[in-house]
Structure formats: structure tokens, C-alpha cells
Amino acid sequence: MSANREGSGRDPFRRGSDAASGAVILATWVGEATGSKAAAATLACAGSEPDRPGLLIDLGGRPPRPTLVASAGARELEERLAVHMPEARAASRGQTCHLALPADADGLERLPAALPLVRDSIAVLHLPPRLLQPALAETRIRPFGALLRADLQLDRALTALAVRDLIERDLRVGVLKRPLAWVPARRALFGVLPAGTPGGLSRRLSDRLLVSDSAVEHACYDDPDDAETHPARIAQQERRGDEGARSRRGLRRNQQWPTGR
């Protein structure tokens, strides 16, 4: 893991020993789910402070444009990115900075050059599902957690497989079942959605992905059967469903055997 898990239990969104300072969070979607970029931007906002802006790296996204209002820290990060990565497009947006890279092997190769510039903050890497495994295999990225935007009614089984793989890699995982509403999504993309704002990510889900305090990590398991805070339950429920289906099929076969079917 790339972040210190010891914490003091203070405000989880303060930088320092409490938060996953310098962490990389992967954000992608499952199936046809929408809204993953806004969710990724929300995480970048939640992990930002005026002098330590979060960085949203968008693989395959359009070149970002600067906003009229941006913090001094975000503008400074934009300038550092322009010096270290002159071929890339970066822009300060509110309390965050956005960076666009191509959604291919070249983009993954260039990405690690940006991470040292936010070692005291948070970097959220938004990427298409086809690049998730290559990003996990890139040893210079070393992600701390992953956020999946998934419609469980349509893609529960596929989500379960993805969650299981990420947990086995010792990553913290969060599943967002519904896209953000239009207003908070736009605020997040403009870098002006503070942590805990109504309509944004739940505090519990943000804590799971951003807070390095192990006590917080354990506490999040107290909320029963919530796929946002208990991604492991998705895999558990899926396994139980498969076992139950096999059991029922076996029972029907056993009932048919005496009749010669």
C-alpha cells in the first residue's frame, strides 16, 4: 500500500496522518453505468485543501479548461504540471486540478510523472475499464483504493467479480450504485464540491476511500447490507446466489432421476 494507515481519528478530510495523503484512487465504471467521472471529481474535491489540491487525472477525457475561480494551490499545481509535463493538458478548477492524458499505453506510461507533484494530497485516476488491469500492473502507480460506478440491478455479477479482484489486491473498494444528481456533479467537475455536501458521495463512502485510519476502515463494516460501504457483500451475495442456484438445480435433477428423465 502506498499510504500510511495510522491515524488519530480527527476530521477525516484533513490532510496529514488522518488521511490517505499521497494516495492514488482508481475510478472507473462497470458495464454501461454513467457518472464515473463526476464521482472521481467528487473524490478529488473531498481530498483537497486550499494549499494541497487534489488532482483528477482523466485518461481519454477531453482537455480540461480552467475555471474562473481556482485556489492558489490549484493554480500552482497547474503550473508545475505544465513544467514537468509540457505535452499534457492541465487546468486548475476550483480547489482541484485536472489533467488529461490519452487512454492508451502511452498515457499510462506518462502518468507516473504527475504523481510526485501531489505526494502530499490525493490523485484520482479516472480510466476506462479496459485500462484497469494495466493500471494495476503498473508498479509506479501503486493505488490505495478503487471506486466503481455500477448499476447493480444490471451488472451485479460483473461488479462482484471486479470487487473481488480488487479486494484480493488489498485495495479499499467503494461501489457507487447511482450517479450523482446534475447539480452536485457539475459542482464536482468545477472543483467546488466540499466534502459532505448534500448530493455528493456519502461521508461513509468517502471515508472508506480517503481516510487512512484503520479504525474508520473497520467501523464502515457496521452498516448492514449497503453495497456502497460493503462491496465485499456483493461478492458474498453473488457466491451465495450461485450456490443456491446450483443447489436448486441439483434438487430438481434428483427429483427427476426416479422417473427416468
What band does 174 get if pLDDT is binned at 50, 70 and 90? very high
Checking if the pLDDT of 4 tops 60, the result is: no
What are the tens digits of pLDDT across the range 143-153? 999 999 999 99
Checking if the pLDDT of 220 tops 70, the result is: no
The answer to whether 46 touches 195, Cβ cutoff 8 Å, is yes
Question: 193-222 as b/e, with b when 16 or more CB fall inside 10 Å?
Answer: bebebeebbeebbbbbbbbbbeebeeebee
CA atoms within 13 A on the CB side of 122: 35
Q: How far apart are CA 133 and CA 192, in angstroms?
A: 31
What does the pLDDT average to over 18-34? 84
CA angle, corner 45, sides to 42 and 46, nearest 5?
A: 85
What are the tens digits of pLDDT across the range 116-152? 999 889 999 999 999 999 999 999 999 999 999 999 9
Checking if the pLDDT of 237 tops 60, the result is: no
Strands in 172-176's sheet, in edge-to-edge order, are 89-93, 96-101, 54-59, 122-126, 23-29, 145-149, 172-176
pLDDT at 184: 97
pLDDT at 185: 97
Indicate the DSSP class of residue 94: B
pLDDT at 238: 55
What are the tens digits of pLDDT across the range 94-121? 999 999 999 999 999 999 999 999 988 9
